[in-house]
Structure 1
Amino acid sequence: MHEEEEFNEEDGDFGPSRSEQRREALAVLELALRLVELSEARIAQIPMDEDLRALVLASRKITAQIARKRQVQYLAKHMRREEPEALEAIRAALDHDKADHRREAQALHQVEYWRDRLIADGDDALSELLAQHPDADRQHLRQLARNAQAERLKNKPPHAFRELFRELRDLLSHPPESE
C-alpha cells in the first residue's frame, strides 16, 4: 500500500461521505416540498428569513408539474445554503404542526366514539360517560341520543346527531373536574 492511500487520524477527517451528503440534500428537498404545500398564512408563521419566504411563496404560484419540480429543487438549493439552526427551526415548526393535528384528530375520534356509543348503547354508555364527566347534563344528552337514534331509524336529516356531536365536543374539550 502506498503511504498516500493510507488514512491516518492525524491527517484529519474527510468530512461527511457522499452518501451522507446526498441524504442531507434529499432531506432538505423534502423540507422544501413540505413548505411549498403549506398555505400562505401558515408560511407566514414559519420562522425563516424574508428572502427564503419570498422564494417559497413564488414556488407555490408555479402550477406546471415539471416547472414546479425545478423550482422546488432551486428552493432546496437555497435552503442548503442556510445555517443548520435555521433549517432545524423550520423542521421543528412543521413537526409541531403534525403533533397538533394528531391531537385534534384524536379528540374528534373520541367525540365520535362517545356519540356512537350513546346512540347504540343508551343509558349504559351515558352512565360510563357521566362517571368520567360528572358535570355533564344527563337529561339533555339522553334526549339528544334518543332523538338521534329516532332520526336514524326514520331516515330523517341528522339534526340531533349533529347537536349531540357538538355537545360532546364541548364537554370533552374541557377536562373533567377533579374532586
Structure 2
Amino acid sequence: MTSETFDDSQPSKTRLKAEADAAQEIGRQLVALPKERLKKLQLEEALLDAIAEAKRITANGAIRRQMQYIGRLMRDTDLAPIVEQLQKWDGKHQEENARFHQMERWRMRMLEDVKAIELFIVEFPHTPVQQMRTLIRNAQKEHAAGKPPKSSRELFKIIRETMEGKSSPEDDAFDAALPADESLDD
C-alpha cells in the first residue's frame, strides 16, 4: 500500500474501537445512575429502555451483551453533554463529601474543646449560640453516660443548617412577625 492510496477520510479501526469502548464505559456509568438522574439527562427512549433492561439483567453474559448494545446505541448519541453532566455530578458529590467532613470536624472540635464554638461563631455569625451550647453540654453528658448520641446528632444538624445558611425556626418566626414594609437594615 502506498501513501497515495491511504484514505485519511476513513477513521482507523483502532480509533473506532476506542470510541466504541468509551461509549460503552459511559453506558456503564449510566446504568449505575439512579432513575432520577437518568431522567435529567433527557436520553432517547431506546437508550433509556436499554439501560432499564441492563439494570434488570443478572447473568454475566447477558449483561455484557446488553452493555455492547447500549454502546452501539450511544454511537448515534451526542456524548459531550452526557459526559459533562456526569462530571458535574461527580464533582458535586466530592464537594458534598468535603462539606460533610468539614461539618463533622466542627462537631468533634466543639465536643472536645469548649472554645471551638467561639471560632465557629466568628466564621458563621448567624449561629444559634445558646441552642448549640446546650446541645454540646447534653452530648457530652450522653457520651459520659454511654447513652445514644441524640444531642450530638442534633448538634450536627444545627451545624449543617448554619453552614448552609438556612435560618432556624426562631428566625423564621421573627421574620414573619415583622411588618412587610419594615426592614432590619434601616
How far did residue 171 of structure 1 move? 0.4
**Cα distance in 2 for residues equivalent to 1:32 and 1:61:** 15
**Cα distance in 2 for residues equivalent to 1:144 and 1:69:** 53
Contact in 2 for aligned 1:47/1:90 (Cα 8 Å):
no
User: C-alpha deviations, 1:61-113, integer Å up to 9, x for none?
Assistant: 11222211111111111212x14xx2112112222211221222122111101
Which residue pairs with 1:165 in the alignment?
A: 156
TM-score for the superposition, normalised by structure 1: 0.83
SS in 1 for 2:3: coil
Select the residue among 87, 93, 97 that pairs with 1:105: 97
How far did residue 41 of structure 1 move? 2.5
SS in 1 for 2:146: coil
**Cα distance in 2 for residues equivalent to 1:165 and 1:95:** 29
Alignment of structure 1 residues 3-152 onto 2, 5 Å: 5-6=2-3, 13=8, 15-80=10-75, 82-83=76-77, 86-122=78-114, 124-152=115-143
Question: What letter corresponds to residue 20 of structure 1 in structure 2?
Answer: R
**Cα distance in 2 for residues equivalent to 1:168 and 1:50:** 43
**Cα distance in 1 for residues equivalent to 2:158 and 2:127:** 9
Question: What letter corresponds to residue 48 of structure 2 in structure 1?
Answer: R
TM-score for the superposition, normalised by structure 2: 0.80
How far did residue 20 of structure 1 move? 2.9
Is 1:153 the counterpart of 2:153? The answer is no
How far did residue 159 of structure 1 move? 0.7
How far did residue 120 of structure 1 move? 0.7
Query: Percent same amino acid among aligned pairs?
Result: 32
Contact in 1 for aligned 2:50/2:66 (Cα 8 Å):
no
**Cα distance in 2 for residues equivalent to 1:128 and 1:30:** 46
**Cα distance in 2 for residues equivalent to 1:15 and 1:106:** 46
How far did residue 47 of structure 1 move? 2.4
Contact in 2 for aligned 1:55/1:75 (Cα 8 Å):
yes
Question: What letter corresponds to residue 107 of structure 1 in structure 2?
Answer: R
**Cα distance in 1 for residues equivalent to 2:146 and 2:13:** 64
Please, what is the CA RMSD of the aligned residues? 2.0
Moved over 6 A (4+): none
**Cα distance in 1 for residues equivalent to 2:142 and 2:82:** 48
**Cα distance in 2 for residues equivalent to 1:27 and 1:150:** 55
**Cα distance in 2 for residues equivalent to 1:7 and 1:152:** 81
Question: What letter corresponds to residue 19 of structure 1 in structure 2?
Answer: T
